[in-house]
Amino acid sequence: MQVAVVWFRNALRIHDNPVLSWAYESENVDLVLPMYIFDGKIHQRSTQTMAEHRLRFQFDCVENLQQNLKNKFDLNLHIFSGDCLEVLESIREQLRSFEVLLLSEYSTNPRDKKQLEIIEKNLISTNQNWSAKSFPSSQTILDIEAIVSSPEYKPPKSMKDMVRLFKKEFGDYENIIFETNEPNPSSLKRKKSLSVNSKYQVSLDQIRPLLSTSGYFLGGENEAIARLEKKVTSQHDYVKSFNKPKSISTNVQGNPMEPTTTGLSPYISTGCLSIRRLWNSCSEIQQSSEHTVPPVSLHGQIMFREMFYLLSRSVENWDQDSGNSQCKEIEWGELDQALLDSWDSGQTGFPLIDAMMRQLNATGWMHHLGRHAVSCFLTRGQLWQNWTHGRDIFERKLIDSDWALNNGNWLWLAGVAPFSMPYYRIYNPCPDSKSSLNVETKDAEFIRYWVPELSEFPSKYIFEPHLAPLHIQESVGCLIGRDYPTPIIDRKESRKKNLQLFKLSLEKLR
């Protein structure tokens, strides 16, 4: 008898899930054992790799997956916490009489790859009844491994390269509707769940009270589908006119939590939403009339994502600033922990930067142009800190944290990659209404919400409150330096100095 152990890692959904579909539809599989493994430190509210909102979001995703598997397929998701090899070892004996097939999603993340290597070496190769199979295109549209290993492959540097690649792969790619993998719960091949016991098994009811409360974004496939419907499927004009660089970074007027972009990233990165489902929804809407095109369209955003997945697989040391062909080794110098802490906690004295970072701390999310503002500020703009420090903080805190995308975008914003924006194009952290950061400056509602110390400040001074005359500071009850920090750096001087340092560093590399 064959049992398929379906290991959910980065595709926490039942729709368009190639791994689940295969297990469910395969003639040879008799029983299915779905499982998810949390970090061993799940009981501690946050772990080394996940800050509390990210962990809570992940928890909600797993809980919803458990419900959906039960309701739609009558399958029991086994939830463990601990080291992956130890977890599998703990159920090995119970699977002794089966032919065991360990199924998982393909991933470019070195942590995922390492886990599988260890399992291959210590479990699969030493137990004759075990084998493993990984499924491409679970997280991406492209089969990353196949593209990267084709003889013509060259690392893409721009959207033009991606358009060329998509045309070659799919022809009329803008109109394509991709086939999805939908297992049929009522098919004759209906599979039974296999149940096992392990000391590593955990109950969600026991963990839930230990975690932070859910934030603005609730995790899970049901939420993902509801958001897709609300922001994309039912919004034809929005999709057809989607123009990313023009989107407002300070969220929807009247709701400082709600993104002006789709806000689907937490669902895509956890795999609660299939990227093909999003692509297809856009294709269906766009087919009928005129629409924006890559790089600014929604299809364009998805193609950026595919580009970073390709690069993350094909570029050695993708997450390093040394030995990485996509990263110029700028001399960033030693870490200044105090500067990094001010940035991290939203206490820099620059209200836009602080509002964005406080939003990240409170919800685990930030608009793309907000990410531009804070990453530029931390690196080549003002604070001259190595991009990897900001990358690490984002990786832990973002509920859409994605190793391929986070590194790719930090490389982009630090000005060090071939696909980067020019290093001398530095954002003003105190923007006016004309800034390409697209900040709502008239009412400055976003700043007032996230930096409540400044809630009574006149809009004229709110982006640079230390310039407000003392009588204004007194009249609104917020003295700069006492109630809100004075800027930790002179933005104009640091900008000038950093431009010179960057230029000098580049010259040394030539």
Q: Which residues bind ligand FAD (CB under 6 A)?
A: 244, 259, 261-265, 268-269, 298, 301-302, 304-305, 308, 367-368, 371-372, 375, 394, 398, 400-402, 405-406, 409-410, 413
Task: Single out the residue of 55, 60, 26, 35 nearest to residue 43, CA to CA.
Answer: 55
Nearer to ligand FAD, 285 or 454 (CB): 285
Nearer to ligand FAD, 88 or 398 (CB): 398
Nearer to ligand FAD, 39 or 392 (CB): 392
As measured in angstroms, the least distance from the Cβ of 387 to ligand FAD is 8
In 281-413, DSSP assigns E strands to none
Identity of the residue numbered 13: R
Contact 412, 487 (CB under 8 A): no
Bridge-partner residues for 36, per DSSP? 79
As measured in angstroms, the least distance from the Cβ of 278 to ligand FAD is 7
Nearer to ligand FAD, 64 or 261 (CB): 261
As measured in angstroms, the least distance from the Cβ of 273 to ligand FAD is 9
As measured in angstroms, the least distance from the Cβ of 406 to ligand FAD is 3
Bridge-partner residues for 193, per DSSP? 32
Q: Please, what sign has the CA dihedral across residues 395, 401, 404, 410?
A: negative
Nearer to ligand FAD, 19 or 302 (CB): 302
Tokens 């299915």 belong to which residue? 32
As measured in angstroms, the least distance from the Cβ of 440 to ligand FAD is 17
Nearer to ligand FAD, 244 or 291 (CB): 244
As measured in angstroms, the least distance from the Cβ of 319 to ligand FAD is 12
171: number of Cβ within 10 Å: 10
Nearer to ligand FAD, 13 or 371 (CB): 371
Contact 249, 437 (CB under 8 A): yes
As measured in angstroms, the least distance from the Cβ of 256 to ligand FAD is 15
d(CA 125, CA 69): 30
As measured in angstroms, the least distance from the Cβ of 121 to ligand FAD is 30
Nearer to ligand FAD, 298 or 454 (CB): 298
How far from each other are the two terminal CA atoms of the chain, in whole angstroms? 62
Q: What is the DSSP secondary structure assignment for residue 275, as one 8-state letter?
A: H
d(CA 427, CA 419): 18
Nearer to ligand FAD, 194 or 264 (CB): 264
As measured in angstroms, the least distance from the Cβ of 434 to ligand FAD is 21
Q: Which CA distances in Å does 476 have to 117, 149, 472, 473?
A: 60, 62, 6, 5
As measured in angstroms, the least distance from the Cβ of 101 to ligand FAD is 30
Q: Please, what sign has the CA dihedral across residues 121, 123, 124, 128?
A: positive
Contact 426, 495 (CB under 8 A): yes
- Which contacts qualify for 24-30: CB closer than 8 Å, 24 or more apart? 24/73, 24/183, 24/184, 24/187, 24/189, 24/191, 25/183, 25/184, 25/187, 25/189, 26/189, 27/189, 28/2, 29/2, 29/3, 29/4, 29/101, 29/191, 30/1, 30/2, 30/3, 30/191, 30/192
d(CA 354, CA 396): 18
Contact 401, 54 (CB under 8 A): yes
Nearer to ligand FAD, 103 or 268 (CB): 268
322: its two tokens: 């040394």
CA angle 293, 296, 298 (to 5 degrees): 75
Identify the three-state secondary structure at position 241.
Answer: coil
Phi, psi of 16 (to 5 degrees): 35, 55
As measured in angstroms, the least distance from the Cβ of 183 to ligand FAD is 24
Nearer to ligand FAD, 218 or 472 (CB): 218
Nearer to ligand FAD, 209 or 254 (CB): 254
> Looking at the chain, how many residues does it have?
510
As measured in angstroms, the least distance from the Cβ of 284 to ligand FAD is 16
As measured in angstroms, the least distance from the Cβ of 388 to ligand FAD is 12
d(CA 75, CA 68): 9
Task: Single out the residue of 231, 412, 378 nearest to residue 307, CA to CA.
Answer: 412
Nearer to ligand FAD, 103 or 405 (CB): 405
